[in-house]
Structure 1
Amino acid sequence: MSSSTADTLDPAKGALSTDYTRHYMFYNGLTRYGADLSAQPALAEVLESDDRTRWRAVLRKGVTFHDGKALTPRDVVYSLMRHQDPATASKVRPIAEQFRAVTATGPDEVMIELTGPNADLPAILADSHFLIVQDGATDFSQAVGTGPYRCAAFQPGINTIAVRNDNYWVPGKPHLDEIELIGIPDEVSRVNALLSGDVHLIIAVNPRSTRRIEASAGYRVLETKSGLYTNLIMRQDASPTRDPDFVLAMKYLFDRGLIRRTLYRNYATIANDQPIPPGNPYHLADLPQRAYDPDRAAFHLRKAGLAGARLPVYASPAADGSVDMASMLQEFAAKAGLQLAVNRVPADGYWSTHWMRHPLSFGNTNPRPTADMLFSLFYKSDAPWNESGWRDERFDQLLLAARGERDEALRRQMYCDMQVLVHDHCGVGIPVFISSLDGYDRRLKGLSPIPVGGLMGYSFAEHVWWEG
C-alpha cells in the first residue's frame, strides 16, 4: 500500500488505503459495514428516522476513549459538524453539508437533522471519514479514539504501531496484541515481503502476481469484488473532448473483454461507462452493454470532424492500469482514424498536477458504499471531483429526489435513470470494475470480503487472529 509524509491520524483527512486502515484501528463510527455493505450498529445502538430527515441516534453505554474518558453526545456532535469547517479540510465536506444541525438531546442521545431526506445516512456514517473523535480534538499527532487498538507509534510515511485496547467495548475483540502497518509502494516489493515472511498481509496485489502467491506454500489471495475503477476522463469544458461524438467514439474503442483478461487476469467485472457496480442493489443490469466497435468509433470521429486528428492522452501508474489502457486505446484509435499520443507521467504528483487538468486523461476511483455518495462526489454538477466537468440538470434533480424517496421501487428507478444519463452523456469511460486483491499468510484467520475496499474494507484489524 502507498504511504507518504501526508499520512494522517485525522479521519476527516484520510486519502489513502493506509489512512483508512489506520483510522479503523483507532476509531469507531456510529455504524459499521456488513459484508453486504449494509449499515450495522456500532457506537450507535439505534439510528432511526420517521422522515429520513431527522435521525435519532442512541449511543452505546459504557464506551470509553483510549484515555479513559467516556463517550458522550458532545463527541458525536463535534465529530460530525467539524467536517463543515473549511479549516478541517475534510475530504467529505460536500457530504457533510447535508447536516443542518447535530445536537445532543439526552445523556446518550443525538439528533441529526439533514437539509433534506437521505435514506443512506446510516451507511454514510460508517465511512472512515465519519469516525468519532473526542470533542474539541485538533491535535492529531496522536489518535485518541474508541477503537480496537491504541496508537503506540506513528511516523508518517514510515509506519504505525497499534497495540490491543484491553477496554474495547466489543467482547472478545480484538484478537491480536500488536499490529505494525507499513507502506510499501512498489507492488513487487510487497509480494516479496509477504513471501519472505517479513509481512503477513498485503493489499493491492497485481493480478500478474496471483499465480506466484497461490503457488507458494502457506499463502493465499483474497479477491474482493468491488466498485473500484480506472476511467478515461474527457473534459466537457475543453476541445475536442467536449464533443458528444468524440465521447462516444472513445467509449466504443474500449475492448472491455481484452482489458479484463490481459490487464486484470479476469480479476475484474465488465463495466458499462457508469459507476454503479453489479454488487450494488441499485445497479442497472439490463442497460445494453456497449461493445468494442471500431467502425462506430470511426463514424463518430468523422462526425466530430476529428478523422486524422492527433491528441495527447495522459496516463500514470497512479491510476491503476491506465498506462496499459492508454496503449490499447492508442492502437485501436489508429484503426479508427485518430492518432493518440500517450504521455506516461510519474505517479508522484499525478493527482495534483495532471488529474482533471488535461482534455484527455485517466482517473482512479475507490469504491463508495452507496450510490448517493458516489454520484454526489463525482457526478453532480457541482461535485468537487466531477472529473469531466459534466453538467446535467436532470441528473442533479434525480439525485436529490432519490435521497428522500420512500417508495423503494421509485427510488431504484431514479438511480437507474441516473446510470442511463451517465452512460449516454457523461464524459467518462469506465471499461471494468477492478477486484481488490489481498495476499496473506494462511496462518492469519478471519479474513473475508467487505466490498468497500481491500483488507476487509480496511477494517481487518478488529476481526483477524493468528494460528501459528
Structure 2
Amino acid sequence: PIPELAESWEPSADASKWTFKLRKGVEFHNGKTLDAEDVVFSINYHRGEESKSSGKSLVTAVKDVKSDGKHTVVFLLEGGNADFPFIMSDYHLAIFPAGTTDFEKGIGTGAFKLVSWEPGVKALTKRNPNYWKEGRGHFDEVETIYINDVSARINALKTGQIDAMNRCERKTFHLLEKISGIKGINLTGTTHYTIPMLSDVPPYDNNDVRLALKLTVDREQLVKHILRGYGAVGNDHPIAPSQRFYASELPQRKYDPDKARYHMKKAGKLDHTFKLHVSDAAFSGAVDTAVLIKESATKAGIKIDVVREPQDGYWSNVWMKKGWTFS
C-alpha cells in the first residue's frame, strides 16, 4: 500500500497487533484536523453490529481499535494477518470526522468536496483548497454523471454531454478512437472480475461444486471474446500478472469439462440447475460472460440458468445476497 492518511505502520511479531502513525496537518472538508479518534470512530462505524457499510466484512477480524495519542492508532486482531495494511487501503473503509451522524454529506479528506448528490443520478464536487497533497486537484469543479447503460454512455461522449468516460465497452473502443476529438487510453490496471459464490449457502458450501464450476469457465475464451484481448487470464486470486507479488508458480486453473463433470458427480449435483445472477452493472460484458459460461458448462453436462438482474439495485439487492453472482 502507498502511504496516505497513514504515513507508516508496524506489526507485532505475530502480526496480530498493528500500529499506524497518522499524517499530521490533514484537514477534513469541514475544517477539522484529522486525528486518531477520527480513525477509531470510523473503523468502529464500519465494523459495528448494525453497520451497513460495504467495508464491514473487511474488518470482522478487528478485535479492538484504539488511539495512542493524537497521531497513533493501534489495531488488535483476532489472529495474525500480514495483509492487514492492504486491507486497510480498501476504498470502502472511508475515514470520517468522529461523531459523524449524517454520512450523506460526504465529509472526507480528499481533493474534492461534495457539493450535491443525487443517488444513482449525479454528484457535483468542487476543489478542496486545503488538500494535503500540494498541486493536486486540477479542476475547479467535477460533475460525475452515473450512466449505467453502455450505449447511453457512448452517445453522451460523442455528443459532448460528458468530457470523459470509463468502463468503455471493448468492442467499441477501437471505433471511438477513430472519432475526431476523442482519445482512448488503454492502461494496464489491477481490476479483476470475479464470479463469487456464497460458500456458506447450499449448494455452494460443497467444495466439489465450487471446483466443478471453476473448471467450467473457459478463461481464455472470455479474454478473447469478452475483453477483446484487453486483459489477462485470471487464476482465482486478485493479483494481476503485471503486479509485483503475482504468484507465477501457481499452476494455472484451466477449462476442463471432464474434470468438472467428475467433481459435480462426486457432489451429487449433476441434475441440479445452478442460477447465475448477473447484470452489466457488475462490469461491461458481464451478461455476455454469463452466457459463455453457460455454454461451456454444457460440455460438462452441468446446467446453468442465467438470471438477468436489473442494473438499478444490483449491488444492494443481488450481489453477495444471491448464491452466485458477478463482481
- Bucket of the pairwise TM-score, normalised by the shorter protein: 0.7 to 0.9
The structure-2 alpha-carbon separation of the partners of 1:45 and 1:343, relative to structure 1 and needing over 3 Å to count, comes to closer
Q: Which residue of 2 is the match for residue 441 of structure 1?
A: none
What is the identity, as a one-letter code, of the residue corresponding to 1:44? Answer: A
State whether residues 55 and 111 of structure 1, in contact with CA within 8 Å, keep that contact through their aligned partners in structure 2.
Answer: yes
* Structure 2 residue matching 1:88: 3-state secondary structure: coil
Give the Å deviation of 1:146. 2.4
* Structure 1 residue matching 2:189: 3-state secondary structure: strand
Q: Which residue of 1 is the match for residue 273 of structure 2?
A: 311
Deviations 1:66-117 (A, max 9, x none): 2222223222221222223223322222332333333332243333333333
Matched, 1:269 2:269: no
Q: Which residue of 2 is the match for residue 78 of structure 1?
A: 41
Q: Which residue of 2 is the match for residue 15 of structure 1?
A: none
* Structure 2 residue matching 1:223: 3-state secondary structure: coil
* Structure 2 residue matching 1:208: 3-state secondary structure: helix
Q: Bigger CA drift: 343-352 or 255-264?
A: 343-352
* Structure 1 residue matching 2:190: 3-state secondary structure: strand
Q: Which residue of 2 is the match for residue 220 of structure 1?
A: 184
> Which of residues 116, 121, 125 is equivalent to 2:88?
125
How much is the aligned-residue C-alpha RMSD, in angstroms? 3.3
Matched, 1:205 2:168: yes
* Structure 1 residue matching 2:67: 3-state secondary structure: strand
State whether residues 276 and 304 of structure 2, in contact with CA within 8 Å, keep that contact through their aligned partners in structure 1.
Answer: no
Matched, 1:231 2:200: no
Q: Where does structure 1 lack aligned partners over 5 or more consecutive residues?
A: 1-38, 366-468
Q: Which residue of 2 is the match for residue 324 of structure 1?
A: 288
Give the Å deviation of 1:282. 4.5
Matched, 1:113 2:40: no
> Which of residues 100, 109, 133 is equivalent to 1:146?
109
State whether residues 278 and 326 of structure 2, in contact with CA within 8 Å, keep that contact through their aligned partners in structure 1.
Answer: no
Give the Å deviation of 1:179. 0.5
State whether residues 197 and 204 of structure 2, in contact with CA within 8 Å, keep that contact through their aligned partners in structure 1.
Answer: no
State whether residues 319 and 326 of structure 2, in contact with CA within 8 Å, keep that contact through their aligned partners in structure 1.
Answer: no
* Structure 2 residue matching 1:259: 3-state secondary structure: helix
1:401-412 alignment runs, 5 A limit: none
User: How many Å separate the matches in 2 of 1:256 and 1:341?
Assistant: 19
User: How many Å separate the matches in 2 of 1:129 and 1:306?
Assistant: 36
User: How many Å separate the matches in 2 of 1:121 and 1:229?
Assistant: 22
* Structure 1 residue matching 2:41: 3-state secondary structure: helix
State whether residues 228 and 364 of structure 1, in contact with CA within 8 Å, keep that contact through their aligned partners in structure 2.
Answer: no
Matched, 1:191 2:162: no
Q: Which residue of 2 is the match for residue 396 of structure 1?
A: none
Q: Which residue of 1 is the match for residue 7 of structure 2?
A: 45
Matched, 1:257 2:223: no
Q: Which residue of 2 is the match for residue 289 of structure 1?
A: 252
The structure-2 alpha-carbon separation of the partners of 1:340 and 1:43, relative to structure 1 and needing over 3 Å to count, comes to closer
Give the Å deviation of 1:138. 1.0
Matched, 1:87 2:46: no
- Is the helix fraction higher in 1 or 2? 1
Q: Bigger CA drift: 213-222 or 131-140?
A: 213-222
Q: Where does structure 2 lack aligned partners over 5 or more consecutive residues?
A: none
Q: Bigger CA drift: 320-329 or 187-196?
A: 320-329
- Is the strand fraction higher in 1 or 2? 1
Deviations 1:276-335 (A, max 9, x none): 44345554323333433445555666667777x473543432444443334334444444
Q: Which residue of 2 is the match for residue 69 of structure 1?
A: 32
User: How many Å separate the matches in 2 of 1:113 and 1:301?
Assistant: 41
The structure-2 alpha-carbon separation of the partners of 1:234 and 1:338, relative to structure 1 and needing over 3 Å to count, comes to farther
Taking structure 1 as the reference length, the TM-score comes to 0.59
User: How many Å separate the matches in 2 of 1:150 and 1:220?
Assistant: 28
